[in-house]
Amino acid sequence: MQRQLTLLFSIILLTLVYGCSDEDKKSIEKNAGEKVINAPVDPSLFANGAIVGDVETVECTLSGGTETSCYRITIAGAPADPDSSPEGPYCPPTIESSAEDGGTWIDGEGTVYQVDGEFIKNLSTLYKDKKWQMYDIKTGEITVIDGAKGCEIAGDPRPIPGFNNFCLSCSLEDLDGGIQKTVLIPKVPVPATKSTTINARSNIGIALNGVLFGPPAPLDMILSSYTLGVLDDCGAHANPHEGYHYHSANGCSEIGIQEDGHSAMIGYALDGYAVYAKTDKDTVESKGLDACGGETDPIRGYHYHASAPGTNQIFGCFMGETGHFEGEAKRPEGGPNGQQGPPKD
C-alpha cells in the first residue's frame, strides 16, 4: 500500500511539473524539496556575559493575542565583547579633531558621516541653515554637553528652550556601566496575519552581545533643536532610559558565524525571528528581501537581514507577533498611531 501511495505521489508531481511553464516547474521542484521551518530562539547563542541571571520559560500573550511560551531574558545592556564592540567616542573636542576623536552621524537615507572636526564645522552647509554654529569661532572648541547633563538631554530629544547648537555625549560610565533590560520573547516565532510597523517608542530586539536593538532615532526632532546625538562607530549611543542601544547595525555584533557562509547572526527581533548581518558586505543594500528585510531558507527558516548603516533602522517591520520588554507597554498592532510622550532616542 505504501509503495502504491509513493508511486501515485510521484505521478502527480511529474504531471504537475511537465504540465507547467519553466518558471512554475522550478517553483514546484524547489518547494517539493524544501522544508520550511520556524527556528526557535536559542539562548545558548548569546555571548558570555550578555545575559544576566537565568533564562526562564514563562507563559505569555503576544501582540496578536496568541498565548504561548516565552523566554524571559535579562540582558546586561552593555557589550559583552567590548574589544570588538567598543563604546564611543562621540563628540570631537575641536574643529581640528580627526575621525578617531568622534563618532558617526546618519541621515536616514543610507549615508554614514564621520563626526570629525570638519563635519561639525560644515553643518550649516550640510543642512543649508546658517543657524548651525556648534563651535567657538575664536578657539575652535566644539560645544559639548556630557556627563549627567548630557545623558539627561539625550533622553529627551525635544527642543529645550535656551539650549541649541551642541553635541551630546552620554557614556556607559555615566550610567554606571549600563542598564539591564528584561524581555519576553516567544520561544518559537508565531507568524502574524500581516506585517506590522515598528513603534517609534519601543525597542525592537536584543543583540547577541547583550545590547538593545532600538527603534529608529527621531532625527527630525533632534535636528530641529540644532543638536547632534552622535552615534559611535558601532551605530549606538546611550541615554538614561534605555542605556546603550543600537540604531543601526555597523558590524559590531556579528557573533553568530554561519558554517555555510551565510552572513553572521547578530541577535533576535522582538517576535523571535533571528536577525543577521547584511547579505553582502560589498554592497550597500541587501538584495532579494521582503519589505521587512526578511527572507526564508531551509536552514534558518524565516529571518531578517540588517538594513544598511545610515538608514536609521535595524530592519523594516515585524513579520511575527511580538513579545515585549518588561516596563514597556505592549506594542499595539499597526505601529505608532496614538503614541504619547517623546519618542525614544
What's this model's pTM, rounded to 2 decimal places? 0.82
Position 10 scores a pLDDT of 37
Position 281 scores a pLDDT of 57
* pLDDT tens per residue across all 345 residues of the chain: 434 433 333 333 333 333 333 433 333 233 333 444 689 999 999 999 999 999 999 999 999 999 999 999 999 999 998 877 888 899 999 999 999 999 999 998 889 999 999 999 999 999 999 999 999 999 999 999 999 888 888 777 666 776 789 999 999 999 988 899 999 999 999 999 999 999 888 899 999 999 999 999 989 888 888 999 999 999 999 999 899 999 999 888 888 999 888 999 999 999 999 999 986 655 555 667 999 999 999 999 999 999 988 899 999 999 999 999 998 755 444 332 223 334 455
DSSP 30-91: HHHH----BPPP-GGGSPTTSB-S--EEEEEE-TTS-EEEEEEEEE-SS-S-TTTS-----S
Rg of the chain, C-alpha, whole Å: 23
Position 199 scores a pLDDT of 86
DSSP 8-state symbol, 173: G
Alpha carbon distance 199, 307 (integer Å):
17
Give the strand order in the sheet containing 324-325: 56-61, 67-75, 181-186, 324-325
Residue 160 C-alpha cell reads as: 529645550
For residue 152, what are the CA distances in angstroms to 77, 169, 244? Answer: 18, 10, 14
Amino acid at 62: L
Short-list 211, 228, 277, 270, CA closest to 250:
277
For 258, the 3-state DSSP assignment is coil
For 186, the 3-state DSSP assignment is strand
